[in-house]
Amino acid sequence: MNTALIDRYKSLGIEDVIDHEKFNHISIVHHSTVLEGSTLTEVETEVLLNEGLTPKGKPLLHTLMVKDHYTALRFVLNEAKKRRPVSEEFIREIGAAVLKNTGSVYHTVLGNVDSSKGEYRKGNVRAGDTYFPNYDEVPSLVQELVLALGRKMSTEISLDEKINLSFDAHFNLVSIHPFYDGNGRSSRLLMNYIQAYYGLPLAIVRQESKVDYIQALLDARAGNNINIFRKFMSDEYEAMLSLEIEKFENMNRHQKGKGFGFTLLF
């Protein structure tokens, strides 16, 4: 990971620009929900979250998905400010927030599972050719992840290690697949939580990278090689930081060179 990009990003004061945080959060929500099937554009997402106006002709489910994700993002960022340790309860709270208004009740032979409450699945699941761990292994696997994150986050680690820790948490949670739904969103939010915990810019998996994202997950699992996923996420992260730096510097050049002026219509 090119950590100099993070230093450059921070030195420019991009995060101090009025409304940057809000627009950054809207972008995270937009891309993350589109990865899961939302049809709202970024403008529609912005209008929905800023003004409460729902887009015409779009499924209500997608509107609720976006609103839930935004609430969940604000929740994890607020918990990061409190320096809340990662726990099994916290992960379940993230899952519940993501599906607050879109979760379903699953009826299984082992009992009902309400996904809107962050309850773990009670059945085995697959996606494409991927079979996820057996449902009865989920609690212990989540606990292992929590303990591993706790050990790392209780010690002094380098900037690179902090970045990789956020990527690793993302990969491991989505690979455990603890819930019937919302696993991708929950895992990306856990990644953002760790980044916010360490005061790092928040990563986005762009909608246009969806195929490469899924392939990186598959290849990392097949080869038992986390570095494959780290490389993908690092490339995404650097692309996002570079774009933000370029936009900020272009804006500054424009303002210094020309100032602001209206285009006359008469």
Name the binding residues for ATP.
Answer: 181-188
Angle at the Cα of 217 from the Cα atoms of 138 and 100, rounded to 5 degrees = 55
- Which among 73, 94, 85, 87 has a CA at the least distance from the CA of 204? 73
Residue numbers belonging to the annotated binding site: 181-188
Three-state DSSP state, 205:
coil
Is 177 noted as a catalytic residue in this protein? yes
CA torsion angle 146 149 153 159 (round to 10): -150
DSSP H helical segments within 37-114, as ranges?
42-51, 60-81, 88-98
CA-CA distance, 188 to 80, in Å (whole number)?
Answer: 14
Token output for 159: 């900037």
User: Given 20, 62, 177, 254, which residue is catalytic?
Assistant: 177
Enzyme catalytic residues? 177
